C-alpha cells in the first residue's frame, strides 16, 4: 500500500513540476492578464475600486494608477503561492509514504520545493520577455510554509483524535483504570 501511495504522489509531484515548468516556459505576452481584464471592467471603474497604494517590488513600481497591472501583480503572486503550496503538499505526501522520520519529511518537502522554485526562476531567465526574480522564490516559499503549517496542524489534530479514541476504548474496556481516583 505504501509503495502505491509513494508512486502516486511522486507522479503527482512530477506532473505538477511539469505544469510549473510549462507555465514558466511561456513568454509573458501569453500570460498577460491585462487585455482580458479590460474586457471585464473599465480602467476607470477599477481605479475607483482599488486602494490608493503604491510600492516597489524588485525594483519595479506597483501602483494603483495602473489598475490592471496592480491587480495582475496580486493575481500572479497569489499564483506563485498557490502553485508551490500544491507542490509542497504533493512532495510531503510523497516523502510521508516512506519510512522517513516526520522531521525529515517536512525538511525534504520544503527543501525540494524551494530548490525547484529557485531553478524555475533561473529557467525563466532564458524565456523571451520573462525575467527570473530571486524575490519570487520568497513568494514561492510562502506557499511552501503555508502547506507545511496546514499539514502540521492536520497531523496534530489527527494524533489528538487517535489519542481520544484510544482513551475512549480504554475507558470502556477497563473502567477501573480510568475511574481509579474516584474509588475509595
State the pLDDT at residue 165: 78
State the pLDDT at residue 1: 57
State the pLDDT at residue 172: 62
State the pLDDT at residue 24: 93
pLDDT in tens, 38-51: 999 999 999 999 99
State the pLDDT at residue 173: 60
**Mean per-residue pLDDT pooled into runs of 10, the chain (184 residues):** 89 98 90 93 95 91 94 95 98 96 97 98 90 92 98 92 76 57 52
> How would you write the chain as a 3-class SS string?
CHHHHHHHHHHHHHHHHHHHHHHHHCCHHHHCCHHHHHHHCCHHHHHHHCCCCEEEECCEEEECCCHHHHHHHHHHHHHHHHHHHHHHHHHHHHHHCCCCCHHHHHHHHHHHHHHHHHHHHHHHCCCCCCCCCHHHHHHHHHHHHHHHHHHHHHHHHHHHHHHHHHHHHHHHHCHHHHCCCCCC
Amino acid at each position: 500500500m505504501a509503495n502505491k501511495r509513494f508512486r502516486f504522489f511522486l507522479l503527482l509531484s512530477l506532473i505538477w513540476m511539469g505544469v510549473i515548468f510549462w507555465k514558466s516556459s511561456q513568454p509573458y505576452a501569453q500570460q498577460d492578464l491585462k487585455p482580458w481584464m479590460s474586457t471585464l471592467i473599465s480602467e476607470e471603474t477599477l481605479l475607483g475600486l482599488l486602494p490608493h497604494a503604491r510600492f516597489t517590488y524588485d525594483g519595479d513600481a506597483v501602483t494603483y494608477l495602473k489598475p490592471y497591472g496592480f491587480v495582475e501583480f496580486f493575481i500572479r503572486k497569489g499564483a506563485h503561492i498557490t502553485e508551490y503550496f500544491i507542490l509542497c503538499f504533493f512532495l510531503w505526501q510523497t516523502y510521508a509514504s516512506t519510512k522517513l522520520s516526520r522531521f525529515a519529511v517536512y525538511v525534504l518537502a520544503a527543501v525540494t520545493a524551494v530548490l525547484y522554485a529557485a531553478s524555475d526562476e533561473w529557467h525563466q531567465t532564458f524565456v523571451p520577455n520573462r525575467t527570473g526574480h530571486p524575490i519570487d522564490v520568497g513568494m514561492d516559499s510562502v506557499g511552501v510554509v503555508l502547506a507545511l503549517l496546514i499539514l502540521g496542524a492536520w497531523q496534530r489534530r489527527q494524533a489528538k483524535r487517535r489519542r481520544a479514541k484510544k482513551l475512549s476504548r480504554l475507558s470502556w474496556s477497563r473502567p477501573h483504570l480510568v475511574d481509579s481516583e474516584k474509588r475509595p
